[in-house]
Amino acid sequence: MFLQAAIWGILFPVGMVLGMTRSRWHVPLQSAGFALTLGGYILGHAHKGRQFKASAHGTFADIIFIPIVLQIVLGIYLKLHIHERTLRPYAVRAHGIVGKAYPVIGWVQMLFGAIAFRGYCRGDHLGQCLAHYIMGGGFIAYGIIMAILLLVGEMWIRRSGRSPEWWDSWIILLWGIVNTFTEHRGMVWSVKDMQHTILGILWWCGGILGVYLARNNQRTVVPAVIIILTGYAMSDHAQQLMISTKVHSVFGYTLMLAGLARIIEVCFVVPSFAPVGITEGVEDDRSDHTLADGGHEAAPKGKAFRHLTPFLLVSAGLLFMSGTDEELEFVHENGMDHVTYLLIMFSIAFLLYTHILFLINLYATSGRNAPDADPHIKDASGAIELATPTTGRWTGYAPVRNEPVAHVIGDDEED
């Protein structure tokens, strides 16, 4: 168990990042991961120790050998350097897609493993498990994407021509539509059914407004307001056990704090950046309300504050995933109070967010993105470019200039 968790949780994600930056350590690291995965699979079936019931974890363990074999075959093919102008470009793209799916595959399998270990999510508990794990995982993914955009996503934001809230609003809108029609079954409406369904309606209604307000690359606080309202609903979401009510309350407060931090960032932190290249005394006619309005440099305190929202989203996701009835019944039966349990979850959140930032930093400083690498070498992998590829500095995304990219890179360079 520990071996497979280390491979899929640490080794493969690190190898994936090194592959995105074309590091020479990518192949050795992934090859070691494949060998250890096979060894762990054999140990898992040959130890003759504790036996578990048939589960999604066991079924998925067989399924994930498909992407493993596919990745090995594609990797060997690419090493042969044949069919350079015909098949190879498609193989490169396929290799990248499969490789980037590894962290998601590993995360899902580790969740299945934790569920199988305790025998959770069977019978009538399946629906609640799906709701908690899918939505909790969604908040964690939201926090990860926000951290990526914050630290290395400026160039992607520039190319998209859309503010981050435009993308947020679309995801919230679509997620709300799905939740509106999946949170209630049968003819009887419970209080929880009504709350879950109206949250779905809240998301797609608010998502429509967010998309409209962000349509011209405008910043908007609508996604943050939706997060706050969702947190409010969860903070007063009655449960059977007192410990469950407390955990849901803290989950709601954490979401509300994440939404508040996002509002402060959008309204005050980003617009407070000093425009680069504006001479003192010369009037700047650029607005502070769009991402296309001016290559600003964030103050260190501003950058530090902007970590608060993604960290709180990751924390909230973990709290929600750990708030199922079966998990909290187990905690209650073992005499643990909600304070201890919540602090354990926040401790895990600190470690998880550290791992996320380590991978992002590794991407920013390894392979072709290393400070001493040639900045003119183009990355054909489709990876997100660094915010400042010519300097090797890690500035995070800020409001964007209106000048062409060639001007940002340097007056003597042509795009």
Q: What is the 3-state secondary structure (H, E, C) of the chain?
A: CHHHHHHHHHHHHHHHHHHHCCCCCHHHHHHHHHHHHHHHHHHHHHCCCCCCCCCHHHHHHHHCHHHHHHHHHHHHHHHHCCCCCCCHHHHHHHHHHHHHHHHHHHHHHHHHHHHHHHCCCCHHHHHHHHHHHHHHHHHHHHHHHHHHHHHHCHHHHHHHCCCHHHHHHHHHHHHHHHHHCCCCCCCCCCHHHHHHHHHHHHHHHHHHHHHHHCCCCECCCHHHHHHHHHHHHHHCCCCCCHHHHHHHHHHHHHHHHHHHHHHHHHHHHCCCCEECCCCCCCCCCCCCCECCCCCEECCHHHHHHCCHHHHHHHHHHHHHHCCCHHHHHHHHHCCCCHHHHHHHHHHHHHHHHHHHHHHHHHHHHCHHHCCCCCCCCCCCCCCCCCCCCCCCCCCCCCCCCCCCHHHHHCCCCCC
**Residue 155 pLDDT exceeds 50:** yes
Judgement on whether residues 155 and 62 belong to the same structural domain of the protein: no
Residue 249 or 415, more confident: 249
Residue 327 or 185, more confident: 327
Residue 413 maps to a domain? no
Q: How confident is the model at residue 139 (pLDDT cuts 50, 70, 90)?
A: very high
| Range 391-404 average pLDDT | 39
**Residue 273 pLDDT exceeds 90:** no
Per residue in 360-381, pLDDT tens?
999 999 988 888 776 555 444 3
Judgement on whether residues 232 and 99 belong to the same structural domain of the protein: no
Residue 112 maps to a domain? yes
The last residue of a domain, from among 80, 102, 119: 119
Residue 336 maps to a domain? yes
Lowest mean pLDDT among 89-93, 245-249, 345-349, 404-408: 404-408
Residue 46 or 79, more confident: 79
Residue 46 maps to a domain? yes
What pLDDT was estimated at residue 44?
76
Name the percent of the chain lying above pLDDT 90.
47
What pLDDT was estimated at residue 253?
96
- Of the spans 219-233, 263-277, 399-413, which averages the highest pLDDT? 219-233
What pLDDT was estimated at residue 62?
87
Lowest mean pLDDT among 27-41, 56-70, 365-379: 365-379
What pLDDT was estimated at residue 398?
37
Judgement on whether residues 227 and 269 belong to the same structural domain of the protein: yes
Contact by Cβ (8 Å): 41, 8: no
**Residue 257 pLDDT exceeds 50:** yes
| Range 348-357 average pLDDT | 96
| Range 130-147 average pLDDT | 91
Judgement on whether residues 131 and 70 belong to the same structural domain of the protein: no
Q: How far is CA 250 from CA 93, 326, 331, in A?
A: 43, 18, 16
Judgement on whether residues 169 and 114 belong to the same structural domain of the protein: no
Judgement on whether residues 111 and 222 belong to the same structural domain of the protein: no
The last residue of a domain, from among 85, 119, 153: 119
**Residue 272 pLDDT exceeds 70:** no
What pLDDT was estimated at residue 387?
40
Residue 312 maps to a domain? yes
What pLDDT was estimated at residue 50?
66
**Residue 410 pLDDT exceeds 90:** no
Residue with tokens 């990248």: 96
Residue 1 maps to a domain? yes
Say how many domains are in the chain.
2
**Residue 394 pLDDT exceeds 60:** no
Residue 332 maps to a domain? yes
| Range 393-408 average pLDDT | 40
What pLDDT was estimated at residue 288?
38
Per the structure, the complete domain to which residue 197 belongs is given by: 126-276+287-407
**Residue 175 pLDDT exceeds 80:** yes
What pLDDT was estimated at residue 45?
72
Judgement on whether residues 213 and 358 belong to the same structural domain of the protein: yes
| Range 395-408 average pLDDT | 40
Residue 412 maps to a domain? no
Judgement on whether residues 165 and 310 belong to the same structural domain of the protein: yes
Judgement on whether residues 68 and 156 belong to the same structural domain of the protein: no
The last residue of a domain, from among 119, 139, 154: 119
**Residue 406 pLDDT exceeds 50:** no
Judgement on whether residues 177 and 31 belong to the same structural domain of the protein: no
Judgement on whether residues 12 and 142 belong to the same structural domain of the protein: no
What pLDDT was estimated at residue 49?
65
The mean pLDDT of the chain is 81
Judgement on whether residues 49 and 136 belong to the same structural domain of the protein: no
Residue 177 or 181, more confident: 177
